[in-house]
Structure 1
């Protein structure tokens, strides 16, 4: 693992070095998502975050069920009942 030191700037700003931005394909203005994991700060692109959640959810075996569709149908039923 290659560590690159950076300093926390005024207002809590963190500059991601050009080498890392290039490797990750980041452009100025890209939205990044942060979360804490085991006491560490994790920075991800939206695409990486979606992949991370999909990997976490794949641990749960729901067979042939499509939970997102079930949830949407449940919400539609609630709307009809109002």
Structure 2
């Protein structure tokens, strides 16, 4: 079973951009600046954009929460490495 969200980058072509991929229907990719993910998002719908604005808001919020948790986890891991 695939995870619900994946992080992706294309550092050779777009080094300042991060992508959050939603793997469940409706599938989509959130593209944004890695330093300011919350204000300049572009959504790429793989399965077509759903007509329900509430659903879209929930999906984008879930993607943002996923990314926040990933960043927090990376910070914790780097702090542990610094302590060693």
Taking CA–CA contacts closer than 8 Å with sequence separation of 6 or more, which of the two structures ends up with the larger relative contact order? 2
Question: Which structure shows the bigger proportion of residues in strand conformation?
Answer: 2
Question: Which structure shows the bigger proportion of residues in helix conformation?
Answer: 1
